[in-house]
Amino acid sequence: MADAALHLFATRGYNVTSVDDIVARSKTSKSAFYEFFKSKEDCFRELLAQEGGALIHEVLTEAASGHNHHERLRRGITRFVLSSFERSSVARLLIVESVGLSAAVDQVRSQLQSRFADAVAEEVRHAMLHDQFYADKDPQVFGRAVVGAVSDAVGYFLTHPGVDAESLADSLCRIFAP
């Protein structure tokens, strides 16, 4: 059922997708749907938390494998871009479909973005002492700027194809982790 909902929310959009669509695609019943979820929004929110959480976990795990702040930032940005293109349905939920949906969905999206932004801010805090590029940067502002710019760029290119993920990641890394 979750796979069917993810596919439909990502390809048709939240507003167009109905519970009937989800149960038809998953070959289940409405009663089965409501055993797991209170509503369509609850289903979306749970998918966002689980699938978006897994994507952010991948990003943070990859970033942590870097040997210095520069490499950790580049690995995190690159993993976010590549994972978003590889798992475009999840990225569409996180970056496109969840925006402005409801306060509860906004809270989940905000928590996921904060995990990424906080990790970037922590790297900038450490880098300020050793790297002139980061010396005058406010870590919190920089973290939010990275997440905002990376998310916006990925969202744009997911909805307007024409760039490959590697090129986009490289461009973003040149801006934020030169």
Whether 86 maps to a domain, the answer reads yes
Whether 30 maps to a domain, the answer reads no
**pLDDT at residue 159 above 90?**
no
Model pLDDT for residues 67-78, shown as the tens digit of each residue: 999 999 999 999
Whether 7 maps to a domain, the answer reads no
Whether 103 maps to a domain, the answer reads yes
**In terms of residue numbers, what domain contains 150?**
40-176
**pLDDT at residue 83 above 90?**
yes
| Structural domains in the chain (count) | 1
Whether 27 maps to a domain, the answer reads no
pLDDT confidence tier of residue 163, bands split at 50, 70 and 90: confident
pLDDT at 162: 84
% the chain with pLDDT above 70: 100
pLDDT at 110: 95
pLDDT confidence tier of residue 161, bands split at 50, 70 and 90: confident
- Cα–Cα dist 168/165, whole Å: 5
| CB atoms closer than 10 angstroms to residue 15 | 10
Closest CA to 78 of 94, 90, 61, 93: 61
For residue 61, give the CATH number of its domain.
1.10.357.10
Whether 15 maps to a domain, the answer reads no
The whole-model pTM stands at 0.91
Whether 146 maps to a domain, the answer reads yes
Model pLDDT for residues 10-23, shown as the tens digit of each residue: 999 999 999 999 99
E-assigned strands of the chain? none
**pLDDT at residue 158 above 90?**
no
- Cα–Cα dist 86/146, whole Å: 20
Whether 31 maps to a domain, the answer reads no
Q: Is 93 helix (H, G, I), strand (E, B) or coil?
A: helix
Average pLDDT over residues 65-91: 95
Average pLDDT over residues 147-152: 95
pLDDT at 125: 96
Average pLDDT over residues 12-36: 96
- Cα–Cα dist 59/64, whole Å: 9
